[in-house]
Every structure is written in C-alpha cells, then in structure tokens.
C-alpha cells in the first residue's frame, strides 16, 4: 500500500508519553488542523484500504437490503424464530448493537464531565460509532414486528382505532428510549461538528465542498460570545446524555427483567447490561482506533496511552460483567426457585446450548484478563484480538440470555429449540456492512477527530510545558500558510 | 445604540487585529475594555476561557441553563400527562392488576421525554441566541479571517462603537503587538 499520509517523524516506534501529555511530538494549531482536515478535504487522496472497506460495507449493506425486502414480503417466518423461542437473532442483535453504541456516549459525555483530557482525540468518531450502531440496532425493533408497516402504531398519535400504545410495557419504553437516544446523540454530535465544519468551509478549495460545509457550519465565525453559549450547551448535553445512556440500556434490560421468564426476571440486569454495553462499546472503539490511527497516521493524537486507558476501562467493565454472571448463578442457587435453578443448570451444564455458555465465559471473562498485563495492553495485535473476543463474547451473552431462557421455561411440554436460519445471518452480517459503510463514509467526509478540541488540548499542554520548563513552546503560526506540510513543525 | 442620526450602514464595519496566540488576544481585549471601547468582539479557533472574565468580555450566559431546565420540566410534565391521559383517562384498563395511575411504570417514558425536551430546546436556544444560522456577517470581510477557524485569534472593534475613530483605534490596536491590523468593510 502506497504511503499516502506521510509519517511526521522518523518511525521510532510507540513512545511513552510523560505525565499528562496527550499529544505526541510537537504540533501547532496549524499542524493539528491540517493533519485532520486534510483527510476530509482529500488533499492526499484516500488510502486503498478505505476503498476496500467501503466497498465491502456497501456489498454487505446490499445483502441486508435484500434480506429486509424479502422479510417484508414473507414475514418473520423466514427467520429461525418459533414458539417458544419467539426472539432470536433479531433481539440479540438489537441489544448487541445498542450496547456497542453506549461507549460513544460514555466517551463524549461522561469523560467530559469527569474532565478526562484523553477523550479529546477519540470522542468524535466514538460518537459517530454510537449513531451508526443505533441505526443498525433500530432496524430490528422495527422489522421484528409482525407488521412493520404499521410500526407507527407504537407512537401515541390520535387515531380512529381509539387505541394508544401500552405505556406499561418495556417494549414501548424502548421505543421512547432508543428514539431519544438516537436524537440526542445525533444532536450532540452535530453540535460538536459545527466549529469543525466552519474550519472545513474555510479550508475547502472545491466550490461544492465549500457550500456544503458552509451550510453545515451555519455561519459559525468563532465569536467569543458564541463560544461561551456553545460551551454551556455542550456541557449541558453531556450532563443530559449521561443519565440518558444509563437509562437507555437499563430500559433495554427491562425488556427481559420485567418479564417473568426464568433467567430474565432478575434485578441484576440493569447495571450488568449497562456495564456490558460499555464493555462491548469500548471493544468496538479500540477495534476502529487501532487500524485508523495507523492508516491515517494519527498516532500523535490517538496515542498508546489512549489505547491503554480504553483497555483499562474495558477490563473494569468486563469485571463488572463477570460479577453479574456470578450473581446470576448465586441468585439461582440461593433463591431456591425450582425454575430458576433448572434454568441455570440447563444453561451451564445439561442443556443443548451449554457449549455457548462456556464460549461466553472464555471470550468474555477469561481472555480479557490478559488486559491486566501492560505489555499486552500495549501490544496492538493482542489488544485488537482481545477486542474481537469481547465483541463475540458480548454477542454470546445476549445469545445465552435470550434463546437459552426462552427455549425451556415453565412448561416442559412447550420446550423447544432455536436454530438460526440463513436470513438471520444475512440480516446480521448485513448490519455489520451498514455499520462499516457508514463509518467509512464518515471518515471520508467528516473530521474523525474533533479539531477545535484538539487545539484546546494543545494549548492546555503548551501551557503546562511552559510552567514546567520555563521556556517558551508558544505557538508560532507560520506567516505563509501554503508552505506548511502536514505534520511539519513551525519551530524546532 | 448609535448616537448619530445616520440611518445608512457605515462603510466600515470595524478594525480588526490578528494574533497568533490566546494570551496576546486576552491582553489586547482587556486593554480595549479598559480603554473604554464597548463594541468589541474576539474570534478564536477554539473556546478561550480567559475572554469570559468580567474585566475582559464579561460573558456569562444564564439563559441557556434556565431555558433547558424549564424545557426539561415541561417534557416531564408532558410525558406524564401523555401517559396519564392515554392510559388512565381515555382508555383505562387493568394491566397486571396495577392501579390505574401506575406511576412507577410511567417513569421511563417520562424520563426520556424530559431529556429529549431539554436537549432539543437547549440546542435550539443556543443557536437562536447566537443568531445562527447566519450565512453572512461583515467580519468575514476581514483579511485572512478564514484563519479564525484554524490558527489565528482576532480582535474586532466595531465602527459603531462610540469611541471608534479610524486613526486612534488603529494606533491603539497596533500598540497591542498583533500580527496585523486591518479594516473590515461592511
């Protein structure tokens, strides 16, 4: 692959950054802006893998479109669901995708409130990941209904039927929760983009690009009065998104825990689901961060330190999830409820799906323990593979919860079995295609790192260095902007 | 707020000084405020907190938090009202033996409506108070203003300011050691 984006310095491997430094090597406002904006303005063309991944995503998306259209014509019978397993891949994938989305909001909102500077270089694409994951997830509640064309009945509108939605059901709470989550995330993301769109508007040379970015930028001119209000709402949105993300996955967990099915009806679900969502989400963020930083030479901004912290959060939430599994088993044993005890025995040892439970334990609990070791956290191959293990593991967690509990509940004569069929797989892999396609379009057409926040971070770091070392690392903007090449340092 | 009876727009919008770092800009803005100028504005590529200080631009917005909070309350009341009307008044029915006004079951939707209303209203309020979208503004006529969203920091003293005088203001701005001082046409 031709090296489309030049490396800023001789490759000296990954350097350990001292203390609180978040940006490797010397940068100026100009170089930070240039490095990120040049990807979008296509000044150096896109690397070949971008074309490959976008192409693959597009093909898989088309496969999904076929699966959806066939579903609309034929109905949910084309899937493997049956009685008693009325929910299968549809709901497993819904919860999996929504869970993945939560890391984006956590990074954007919660880490902002906790004043963690390291969120700066990852929050934009993590938030984009949230939006696209929610778009993939949202397909399922819509399409798994028997008559998706009347799915609008789930919203409370005055109608001639005289009917209203069942507000006492978690399924309707889901409708409101996921809709609100999608809307607020989109709004938060867009608000964060406005100043960067202004940057792109000002840098674009192509007339159409300038107009489109200009429309998105809404006339932003960087006025201090505007910035002050902007920061106010940004903080408020972060403060609103935090309880939102916690509530959304709790409400999703209510889809199960409010029901009386053994294996579902347990109070551990809301916190365990939320932790699991963060776990899966960070795995996905790292999955993207590792190749993207290499491909677009963003190692100065998304450093080993960032990956290290993300791995640590992943480990922590993985431990919470492990606690959740242990508690489920404990509740079943300690509670003494026949049905729940049987459910646990069936799930772990005697049932036809017991293999999946141990796959779950291996991928979700055992393998992530590698993250205790710093050397492994810093080894990008191992880190990447552990993240794939977590993604698979979190999928299996929902598999263990849904079909295993459904196929054998209270009445033995109703027991059954769930086997996914080709259309289940087509739709699932198709949603991955949708996700890939949207992510790569985003990478191409919008700044994947928040440029203005990186400038702020740069200034913050320069201030610290100034205090510590007593000599001036002040930013010197080159007087002739055309001669600045990506990553070039204005002063040595 | 102009003291003159001139109803035509001024040919000059103001004078602008360009800096390459925020500290110089803050110092210059503070000096401008101290010198008695009132219609001053700073343009920066990222939010500069030093400009919000009382002795600089004195920027404190209380409207957005209040509007957002009130909208949130409205959303909560609206969500609860929606559920109460639909499930308790209009089509009252027994679900699982719960009382008609089963408020614990109404909490999730109420909560989501609160957040949605607060977030959307807050964002709309922020853009509205900022006067955005606004495709054109005279400041874009300033030379090199495209750098305001990239790497430069601008201080603008508007011609509509009572103390504005083309030569004096230019001299004042030059005394702040900027990269450049320029006129901005309207």
Give the pLDDT confidence of A308-366 residue by residue, as tens digits: 999 999 999 999 999 999 999 999 999 999 999 999 999 999 999 999 999 999 999 99
Residue A42 has pLDDT above 90, yes or no: no
The answer to whether residue B82 neighbours chain A at the CB level (below 8 Å) is: yes
Question: Of A239-243, A324-328, A365-369, A479-483, which range is least confident?
Answer: A479-483
CA atoms within 13 A on the CB side of A43: 17
Q: State the smallest CA–CA distance between residue A457 and chain B in angstroms.
A: 10
CB within 8 Å of A151: residues ≥ 6 apart: A142, A145
Whether B165 and B115 share a structural domain: no
Cβ <8 Å between B140 and A221: yes
Residue A482 has pLDDT above 70, yes or no: no
Residue B180 has pLDDT above 60, yes or no: yes
Whether B70 and B119 share a structural domain: yes
ipTM value for the complex: 0.93
The single residue listed with the structure tokens 């009252």 is B92
pLDDT tens digits, B121-176:
999 999 999 999 998 899 999 999 999 999 999 999 999 888 888 899 999 999 99
Q: Which chain B residue lies closest to A197 (C-alpha atoms)?
A: B149
The answer to whether residue B62 neighbours chain A at the CB level (below 8 Å) is: no
Whether B96 and B125 share a structural domain: yes
Distance, in Å, from the CA atom of A95 to the CA atom of A33, rounded to the nearest integer, reads: 37
Split into its structural domains, chain A has a count of 1
pLDDT score, position A473: 42
The answer to the question of residue A471 being in a domain is no
CB within 8 Å of A211: residues ≥ 6 apart: none
The answer to the question of residue A465 being in a domain is no
The answer to the question of residue B122 being in a domain is yes
What is the residue range of A304's domain?
29-156+164-458
Rounded to two decimals, the pTM is 0.90
pLDDT score, position B4: 54
Contact B156, B185 (CB under 8 A): no
Distance, in Å, from the CA atom of B169 to the CA atom of B185, rounded to the nearest integer, reads: 15
Cβ <8 Å between B134 and A219: yes
Mean pLDDT confidence for A13-17:
61
The answer to the question of residue A285 being in a domain is yes
Farthest-apart Cα atoms in chain B, separation: 82
The answer to whether residue B123 neighbours chain A at the CB level (below 8 Å) is: yes
Q: pLDDT band for position A86 (50/70/90)?
A: very high
- Chain B residues whose CB is inside 8 A of the A162 CB are 91
Residue-averaged pLDDT of chain A:
89
Give me the torsion for CA of A463, A466, A472, A477, rounded to 10°: -20
Whether B99 and B68 share a structural domain: yes
The answer to the question of residue B135 being in a domain is no
Q: What percent of chain A is predicted at pLDDT more than 90?
A: 83
pLDDT tens digits, B7-58:
667 789 999 999 999 999 999 999 999 999 999 999 999 999 999 999 899 9
The answer to the question of residue B50 being in a domain is no
CB within 8 Å of B156: residues ≥ 6 apart: B13, B14, B15, B16, B17, B40, B41, B42, B43, B139, B142, B184
Residue A487 has pLDDT above 60, yes or no: no
Residue A480 has pLDDT above 80, yes or no: no
Distance, in Å, from the CA atom of A435 to the CA atom of A281, rounded to the nearest integer, reads: 13
The answer to the question of residue B7 being in a domain is no
Mean pLDDT confidence for A10-38:
77
Give me the residue from B60, B136, B149 closest to A199, CB to CB. Answer: B149
In Å, how far from its chain's centre is CA A104? Answer: 5
Whether B27 and B76 share a structural domain: no
Distance, in Å, from the CA atom of A237 to the CA atom of A101, rounded to the nearest integer, reads: 17
Residue A442 has pLDDT above 80, yes or no: yes
The answer to the question of residue B53 being in a domain is no
Higher-confidence residue of A98 and B61: namely A98
The answer to the question of residue B106 being in a domain is yes
Cβ <8 Å between A224 and B51: yes
Q: Which chain B residue lies closest to A259 (C-alpha atoms)?
A: B96
Q: State the smallest CA–CA distance between residue B12 and chain A in angstroms.
A: 19
Give me the residue from A168, A214, A226 closest to B87, CB to CB. Answer: A168
Which tokens go with A50? 């971008």
Suggest the residue from A177, A194, A224 to mutate for an interface test with chain B (most B CBs closer than 10 A).
A224
Neighbouring CB atoms inside 10 A of A432's CB total 17
What is the residue range of B71's domain?
63-129
The answer to the question of residue A88 being in a domain is yes
Q: Which chain A residue lies closest to B97 (C-alpha atoms)?
A: A168
Residue A96 has pLDDT above 70, yes or no: yes
Residue A471 has pLDDT above 50, yes or no: no
Question: Of A103-117, A358-372, A434-448, B71-85, which range is least confident?
Answer: A103-117
Suggest the residue from A222, A238, A466 to mutate for an interface test with chain B (most B CBs closer than 10 A).
A222
Distance, in Å, from the CA atom of A453 to the CA atom of A230, rounded to the nearest integer, reads: 13
CATH number of domain containing B156: 3.30.70
The answer to the question of residue B5 being in a domain is no
The answer to the question of residue B146 being in a domain is no
Higher-confidence residue of A492 and B77: namely B77
Cβ <8 Å between A455 and B45: yes
Distance, in Å, from the CA atom of A152 to the CA atom of A159, rounded to the nearest integer, reads: 11
A13: alpha, beta or left, given left = phi > 0 and alpha = psi -120 to 50?
A: left
Q: Which chain B residue lies closest to A166 (C-alpha atoms)?
A: B87
Which tokens go with A97? 């995708």
Whether B158 and B119 share a structural domain: no
pLDDT score, position A443: 94
Q: CB-based burial of residue A469 (10 Å sphere; 0-12 exposed, 13-18 middle, 19+ buried)?
A: exposed
Higher-confidence residue of B167 and A44: namely B167
Higher-confidence residue of B121 and A485: namely B121
Mean pLDDT confidence for A171-184:
96
Q: Which chain B residue lies closest to A182 (C-alpha atoms)?
A: B116
CATH number of domain containing A37: 1.20.1630.10
The answer to whether residue B2 neighbours chain A at the CB level (below 8 Å) is: no
Cβ <8 Å between B135 and A214: yes
Mean pLDDT confidence for A434-447:
96
Q: State the smallest CA–CA distance between residue A312 and chain B in angstroms.
A: 30
- Chain A residues whose CB is inside 8 A of the B95 CB are 166, 168
Contact A143, A68 (CB under 8 A): yes
Describe chain A by its helix, strand, coil percentages, rounded to 5: 70, 0, 30
Q: pLDDT band for position A470 (50/70/90)?
A: very low
> What residues of chain B, 154 to 173, have a C-beta less than 8 Å from chain A?
none
The answer to the question of residue A338 being in a domain is yes
pLDDT tens digits, A185-197:
999 999 999 999 9
- Chain B residues whose CB is inside 8 A of the A472 CB are none
Split into its structural domains, chain B has a count of 2
pLDDT score, position A459: 92
Higher-confidence residue of A62 and B165: namely A62
Q: What is the DSSP letter of B47?
A: -
A to B CB pairs, distance under 8 Å: 199
pLDDT tens digits, A157-170:
999 988 899 999 99
Q: State the smallest CA–CA distance between residue A251 and chain B in angstroms.
A: 7
Suggest the residue from A178, A181, A223, A243 to mutate for an interface test with chain B (most B CBs closer than 10 A).
A223
pLDDT score, position A484: 35
Whether B23 and B70 share a structural domain: no
- Chain B residues whose CB is inside 8 A of the A452 CB are 45-47
- Chain A residues whose CB is inside 8 A of the B86 CB are 156, 164-165, 167
Angle between helix axes A224-257 and A170-203 (nearest 10 degrees) is 150
Residue-averaged pLDDT of chain B:
91
- Chain A residues whose CB is inside 8 A of the B134 CB are 218-219
Question: Of A221-235, A291-305, A477-491, which range is least confident?
Answer: A477-491
pLDDT score, position A317: 95
Residue A12 has pLDDT above 50, yes or no: no
Q: pLDDT band for position A5 (50/70/90)?
A: low
Cβ <8 Å between B119 and A187: yes
Give me the residue from B61, B127, B135 closest to A232, CB to CB. Answer: B61
The answer to the question of residue A479 being in a domain is no
pLDDT score, position A15: 60
- Chain B residues whose CB is inside 8 A of the A183 CB are 116, 119-120
Give me the residue from B83, B116, B132 closest to A220, CB to CB. Answer: B132
The answer to whether residue B108 neighbours chain A at the CB level (below 8 Å) is: yes
Cβ <8 Å between A240 and B115: yes
pLDDT score, position A57: 97
Which domain-ending residue is among B82, B98, B129?
A: B129
């Amino acid at each position: 692959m031709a090296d489309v984006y030049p490396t800023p310095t001789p490759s000296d491997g990954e350097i350990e950054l001292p203390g609180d430094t978040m940006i490797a090597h010397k940068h100026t406002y100009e170089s930070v802006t240039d490095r990120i904006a040049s990807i979008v303005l296509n000044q150096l063309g896109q690397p070949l893998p971008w074309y490959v991944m976008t192409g693959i995503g597009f093909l898989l998306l088309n496969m999904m479109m076929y699966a959806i259209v066939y579903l609309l014509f034929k109905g949910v019978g084309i899937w493997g669901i049956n009685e008693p397993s009325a929910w299968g891949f549809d709901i497993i994938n819904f919860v999996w995708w929504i869970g993945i989305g939560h890391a984006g909001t956590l990074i954007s909102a919660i880490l902002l409130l906790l004043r963690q500077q390291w969120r700066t270089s990852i929050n934009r694409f993590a938030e984009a990941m949230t939006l696209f994951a929610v778009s993939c997830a949202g397909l399922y509640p819509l399409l798994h209904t028997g008559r998706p064309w009347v799915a609008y009945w789930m919203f409370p509108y005055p109608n001639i039927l005289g009917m209203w939605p069942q507000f006492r059901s978690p399924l309707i709470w889901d409708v409101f929760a996921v809709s609100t989550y999608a809307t607020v995330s989109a709004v938060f993301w867009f608000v964060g983009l406005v100043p960067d769109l202004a940057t792109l508007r000002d840098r674009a040379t192509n007339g159409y690009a300038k107009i489109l970015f200009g429309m998105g930028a809404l006339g932003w001119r960087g006025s201090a009065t505007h910035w002050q209000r902007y920061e106010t709402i940004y903080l408020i949105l972060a403060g609103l998104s935090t309880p939102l993300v916690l509530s959304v996955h709790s409400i999703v967990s209510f889809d199960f825990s409010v029901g009386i099915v053994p294996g579902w009806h347990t109070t551990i679900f809301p916190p365990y689901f939320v932790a699991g969502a963060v776990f899966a989400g960070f795995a996905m963020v790292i999955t993207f961060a590792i190749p993207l930083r290499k491909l677009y030479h963003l190692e100065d901004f998304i450093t080993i330190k960032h990956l290290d912290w993300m791995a640590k959060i992943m480990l922590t939430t993985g431990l919470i999830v492990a606690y959740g599994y242990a508690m489920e088993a404990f509740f079943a044993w300690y509670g003494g409820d026949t049905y729940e005890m049987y459910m646990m025995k069936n799930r772990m040892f005697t049932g036809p799906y017991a293999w999946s439970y141990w796959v779950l334990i291996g991928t979700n609990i055992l393998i992530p323990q590698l993250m205790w070791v710093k050397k492994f956290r810093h080894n990008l191959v191992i880190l990447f593979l552990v993240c794939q293990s977590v993604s698979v593991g979190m999928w299996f967690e929902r598999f263990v919860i849904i079909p295993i509990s459904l196929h054998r509940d209270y009445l033995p004569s109703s027991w059954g079995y769930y086997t996914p069929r080709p259309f289940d797989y087509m739709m699932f892999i198709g949603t991955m295609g949708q996700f890939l396609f949207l992510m790569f379009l985003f990478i191409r057409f919008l700044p994947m790192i928040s440029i203005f926040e990186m400038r702020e971070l740069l200034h913050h770091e320069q201030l610290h260095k100034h205090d510590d070392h007593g000599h001036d690392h002040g930013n010197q903007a080159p007087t002739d902007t055309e001669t600045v090449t990506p990553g070039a340092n204005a002063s040595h | 707020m102009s003291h003159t009876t001139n109803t035509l727009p001024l040919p000059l919008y103001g004078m602008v000084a360009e800096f390459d770092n925020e500290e110089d800009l803050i110092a210059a803005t503070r000096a401008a405020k101290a010198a008695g100028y009132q219609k001053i504005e700073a343009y920066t590529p990222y939010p500069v907190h030093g400009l919000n200080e009382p002795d600089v631009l004195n920027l404190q917005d209380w409207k957005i938090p209040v509007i957002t909070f009130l909208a949130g309350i409205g959303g909560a009341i609206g969500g609860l009202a929606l559920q109460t009307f639909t499930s308790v008044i209009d089509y009252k029915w027994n679900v699982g033996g719960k009382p008609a006004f089963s408020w614990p079951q109404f909490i999730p939707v109420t909560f989501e409506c609160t957040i949605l209303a607060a977030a959307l209203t807050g964002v709309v309020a922020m853009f509205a108070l900022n006067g955005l979208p606004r495709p054109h503004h005279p400041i874009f006529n300033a030379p090199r203003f495209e750098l305001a969203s990239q790497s430069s920091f601008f201080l603008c003293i508007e011609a509509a300011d009572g103390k504005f005088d083309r030569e004096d203001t230019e001299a004042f701005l030059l005394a702040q050691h900027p990269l450049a001082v320029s006129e901005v046409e309207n």
